[in-house]
Amino acid sequence: MDKSENLELPYIMPNQAQKHVTHNEAIRYLDALVQISVESRELRSAPDAPKVGSRYIIAKNAVGEWAGKENQLAAFQDGAWAYYKPKTGWLAWVKAQTIILVFHEDEWQAVQSDTGDLEKIEKLGINTSADTQSRFGVSSNDSFFTHEGHDHRISINKFSMPDVGSLTFKTNWSGHAEMGLVGNNDLSIKVTPDGENWVESLIISAETGKVRFPAGLENTQLSAAPVQLDVMDFIYLDQNLGDDNNDGSSVDRPIKTLQKLEQLFPVGRRLQLRLMSDFVWDYAIRISYPIAMLEIVGRKADNSDLEEKLITVVDSSNVPNLPGCLQMNCISNVHLRSVSVNLDTTKRGAFLNFTRTLGYLNTSQVKLSRTGTGSCCLFADGNSFVANQHQAFEIAPSARGHVAQGVAAGKNPNKDWRYPSNEKLFVTTQLLALSFRVATI
């Protein structure tokens, strides 16, 4: 036998000439294979200018001088490459990755520690493979985290506000729902049917804590009406004497602006807006959550009774393509009491804009006029402009055709719909026409 069993070191044989050659060859083997520390295990070809004594684990699909020598140790010794085939159990330290590998089942594998010391390992796969993109992976029917005596929190930390910190839910590796901080610091939930076209369903503002439903709500009819639906909230508005430091809860604490009003809208309850002064409506309020009923009423200064107040609808200051308006999803109905509405806007659309609802408009002692050049109307949905829901609704000639969206001038949304002002206007027109005919005869 001329070689050792494990490292295959050459023996010096009896009566051998030049014994130093064999001895030096064994030293080279020991220098390459004892305390193995390699530069890298990622190279597929020999480096251009290797350091004397440097060692490498040859990567798969090797080419050039290293072709066909995958997984072997390549050591640059005496100005040339020497190759050593690893055996099961050999250990090697990889400088580039700061990990220990063991040769097992014909390949180099990361050493699995039994000491519990997993700090600063590059990646970890539990019953699955991890990679440089997903450095931690778990394949299991269930995963759980628990406390160590008291609290327990799971944190997802992103680098800066425009980045993403979220949970993504997938089916067969295709994302269909995402929840977290996506591109900003608002909490959002979004979904997609195909993994590409995403729709935001819920947004909670990081600034105000307010909740929005950008896609609207479906099936808003409640199967069991909560007690809150029977509660009427009052918000007092006074554009002359109001103060946005108030809460709007009483005649002595009116608010001043529509921006403050937007912050105070309740969810799932009835709301009455009490106008204590004439009001310029210059802001688009978008309500994407259910309100049982909304009333807008004019009140006397002492709040003792109803009194007509003027709402002047002008161009919106916050949404360029809209008039000042209430743009509503999922509101059952809107009531106007003792108000005059003048459409003094250049925009199209509607002051009361139902976008997804089965609600209707109810009026009492309401006057409608128009001085603006836009095609804005009072109400968005002509189909829910019901005939028997209006008492003493007067329409100035300038506002004909600007009552309900989709209803032409002089036409009624409902065959049985009649307004006293329309009848008066019709009679007056007929009398004027008759007088003209008589005068010309």
Taking the model in full, what pTM does it have?
Answer: 0.49
235 close to 271: Cβ distance less than 8 angstroms: yes
Residues across the chain: 441
Per-residue pLDDT of the chain (441 residues; tens, 9 = 90+): 576 666 666 667 777 667 766 666 767 777 667 888 899 999 999 999 899 889 999 999 999 999 999 999 998 988 889 898 998 988 999 998 888 999 998 899 988 655 455 667 788 888 998 888 888 899 999 999 999 999 999 999 999 999 999 999 999 999 999 999 999 999 999 999 998 899 999 999 999 888 888 886 654 433 334 445 556 889 999 999 999 999 999 999 999 999 999 888 877 778 899 999 999 999 999 887 667 788 999 999 999 999 999 999 999 999 989 999 998 766 667 899 999 999 999 999 999 987 655 567 889 999 999 999 999 999 887 777 777 788 888 889 899 889 887 776 666 555 434 444 444 443 444 444 445 555 555
Query: What is the secondary structure of 292-328 as a DSSP string?
Result: SEEEEEEB-TTSSSB--EEEEE-B-SSSTTSBSEEEE
Q: Which residue has the tokens 């990622």?
A: 42
Tell me what pLDDT residue 315 has: 97
CA–CA dist 105, 215 (Å, integer): 55
Bridging pattern class, strands 136-138 and 164-171: unpaired
Tell me what pLDDT residue 408 has: 67
φ, ψ of residue 222 in degrees (nearest 5): -85, 130
Tell me what pLDDT residue 22 has: 67
CA–CA dist 198, 214 (Å, integer): 12
Chain centroid to CA 330 = 21
Tell me what pLDDT residue 253 has: 96
Tell me what pLDDT residue 169 has: 94
Q: Which residues on adjacent β-strands are paired with residue 188?
A: 180, 203
Amino acid at the residue 224? A
417 close to 391: Cβ distance less than 8 angstroms: no
What sign for the dihedral angle of Cα 116, 117, 119, 125?
Answer: negative
User: Residue ranges per domain, the chain?
Assistant: 35-110, 164-212, 227-437
| Structure token pair of residue 360 | 């209707």
The 3-class SS string of 326-395 reads: EEEECECEEEEEEEEEEECCCCCCEEEEEEECCCEEEEEEEEEEECCCCCCEEECCHHHCCHHHEEEEEE
CA–CA dist 266, 291 (Å, integer): 7
